Amino acid sequence: MASKAQNWTYIGLVAVSFSVAMVAGWRWSPLARRFDHYWYDLLTVDSPPLRVEPQSVVVAIDEATFEARGGVAEIRPILAEALDKIAAAKPQVVAIDVILHDASRDAARDARLEASMRATPNLVLAADLAGSKWEEPLDRFKTLAAAVGHVEREPDADDGVSRDLPLEEIANGERKWALALEAFRLARRQPIVESPEDLEIGGVRIPAPRKDGIRPLLIRYPPEGIPKVSVLEIAEHPEKIRGKVVFLGETAVSAARDRLVNPLGLNVPGVEVNADLFETLAGGQFLVYADDIEILAACAGLALAAGLMIRFLPGWWSLAVIPVLGFVLYFPRLEYRHGIVFPLFAPAAVAFLTSITAATYQYLFVRRELRRSESERSRYQQAIHWAAHEMRTPLTAIQGSSEIMSRYNLPEAKRHQLSEMINSESKRLSRIIQTFLDVERLADGQMDLKRELVDAGALVTSCVARVTPLAERKQITLILDNAVEGSLLGDRELMEYAFYNLLTNAVKYSPGGTEVHVFSKLGQSSSELRLAVRDQGIGMDAKEVKQIFRKFYRTKRAEASGEVGTGIGLSIVEQIVTQHGGRIDVTSVPGKGSCFTMVLKASRAASAQDEATASLS
């Protein structure tokens, strides 16, 4: 089970990766912008606008026209000729994408053009920005125009692709609508109704909110382009012009003032981009950018979904996060079809970063849990080994005694001795089982140590008494060097187990005829009691001393001595002593003997009663 702290760490990590991905993936990052532009262009190719009959036509002043009419210098006579022919074909509106700001040196040319303009109804002329000022048509032309629209195009600053056009531009305090918008207004014969959010012309709502003083509108380029007629061919194709909105301008590569690249990757002359904008307005299939709040919410939703899935779906099911990543790709396409331009970079960055962070955390977390449960299992196994080993001795004694009792006719005194032995050994058995369970629960952190006052003297005496038969068998003398004073605070059973273990080890690892000394020392402030067991046995070198508290460790010397052991007793002793807030000191010399000292918290009072009295006085 994950702890509360782990849950918070997880939530924190997912939140941090979400924030990092958002900051790195928002449109202020050039990489994100480039990426999303490219993505937009792919969507544009993928989902072109519905095909409708074009309502506009480009009358092209192309290479052939310049060639036939004497080049760029002849632009005004060319325009005059074109206007005359166009007017004859009866168009709805004529927009000229040529800036007619300067007077010709030859006044007759301007007069001729003026005359042609006068004969052209619904004429829209072009203005553009020269620095911060409008470059307007000459007054003699302007007065003949139904409108003057700007032909400012602002290709993307990052990659030069022309994705949108400003419907509105303001310079020198004077606002101008785009040439195509003016043409559209004239074609519909309706005024432009504006609000900060959109424009409306004859019931068509154009979603172009004002941003930084302009109203950019994404252009929906028809893949098949806009129909074109060369100036030289107008007379042969009047039907291409009749009733249409005409955009007249230069398309010749050598002369075109501006050629633009559109998202379809096509190189188009500026005049055609105006017609594309007009078709976008006329077609009514507008594209708008997704709201920032919407993007943020979608990204947060993704982070949440990835975080929850990886956290709560078991095992391989958490791979269900992959379709979520797939959705990141699918969603913008869906939105695009509904006219909303949704970015890819930020959601993709969020989805990937949060999933990777969450999955890595989960992996490390699961691995740690696995390791823990493995070490727990092996610890449990060791404890079982220990218990089985410890139980063997009393069981053998019980078994032997009971067999002797049943097989032989023994004198009363002997029977009594044997039944006493059976009784005490079975008690020992039950103590071993109890210790085993206690140590298990202690290691599990399930058990609060008992905190009772234990008379140290009584504890030592009882352990010494239990070991004496063992010592006698090996002709080892057990000597209590001084009277043990003071009380220990803790669990009697466990501390007894620990001290008993030191004593049996001392006897086990000493040859016959030696002595085992037990002595104690109460610290000056009586807060510490040192209980020591010193033998004259096989001893250990410094390297071995360092290892003996490890489970299952046995020195070569001990193995050679012929004593059987499990190598687990001291590890439990150490666990008990440290759980009691104490420690064990060991000094040993190979072949000379060892001294094990338990240093425990103590009190001078000998019983709980005394303790209470002591604390009162």
| Positions in the binding site for ligand ADP (CB under 6 A) | 501, 505-506, 509, 535, 537-540, 548, 553-555, 558, 565-571, 594
Closest approach of ligand ADP to the CB of residue 572, in Å: 8
Handedness of CA 312, 314, 317, 319 (dihedral sign): positive
Strand (E) or helix (H) holding 260: strand 259-261
- Collapse the DSSP code of 206 into the 3-class scheme (helix H, G, I; strand E, B; otherwise coil) and give the result: strand
| Comparison of 158 and 481: residue with beta carbon closer to ligand ADP | 481
Quickly count: other Cβ atoms within 10 Å of residue 382's Cβ.
Answer: 17
Q: Of 194, 196, 202, 213, nearest to 152 (Cα)?
A: 213
d(CA 263, CA 278): 17
Report whether 523 contacts 529 (CB < 8 A): yes
Closest approach of ligand ADP to the CB of residue 547, in Å: 8
Closest approach of ligand ADP to the CB of residue 574, in Å: 9
Strands in 204-206's sheet, in edge-to-edge order, are 192-194, 199-201, 204-206
Task: Report the chain's C-alpha Rg in angstroms.
Answer: 49
**Which amino acid type is present at position 437?**
L
Report whether 263 contacts 49 (CB < 8 A): no
Q: What is the DSSP letter of 134?
A: E
Closest approach of ligand ADP to the CB of residue 373, in Å: 25
Interacting residues of 37 by C-beta distance below 8 A, sequence separation 6+: 156, 158, 159, 161, 163
Interacting residues of 280 by C-beta distance below 8 A, sequence separation 6+: 49, 217, 218, 219, 220, 286
d(CA 613, CA 94): 114
| Comparison of 416 and 550: residue with beta carbon closer to ligand ADP | 550
Closest approach of ligand ADP to the CB of residue 414, in Å: 32
Q: Of 232, 275, 236, 229, nearest to 66 (Cα)?
A: 232
Q: Of 536, 522, 533, nearest to 481 (Cα)?
A: 533
d(CA 68, CA 88): 21
Closest approach of ligand ADP to the CB of residue 463, in Å: 15
Closest approach of ligand ADP to the CB of residue 380, in Å: 17
Interacting residues of 76 by C-beta distance below 8 A, sequence separation 6+: 100, 104, 109, 110, 112, 113
Beta bridge partners of residue 149, listed in sequence order: 126
Question: Residue with the closest Cβ to ligand ADP?
Answer: 565
Pairing label, strands 174-177, 93-99:
unpaired
| Comparison of 401 and 597: residue with beta carbon closer to ligand ADP | 597
Could you tell me if residue 610 is left (phi over 0), alpha (psi between -120 and 50 degrees) or otherwise beta? alpha
Rounded alpha-carbon distances, angstroms, from residue 321 to 21, 324, 330, 355: 17, 5, 14, 8
CA quadruple 362, 367, 372, 374: dihedral, nearest 10: 140
Q: Of 182, 183, 285, nearest to 244 (Cα)?
A: 183
* HSE-up (13 A, CA, CB side) for residue 560: 8
Q: Which two tokens stand for residue 166?
A: 């400003």
| Comparison of 149 and 565: residue with beta carbon closer to ligand ADP | 565
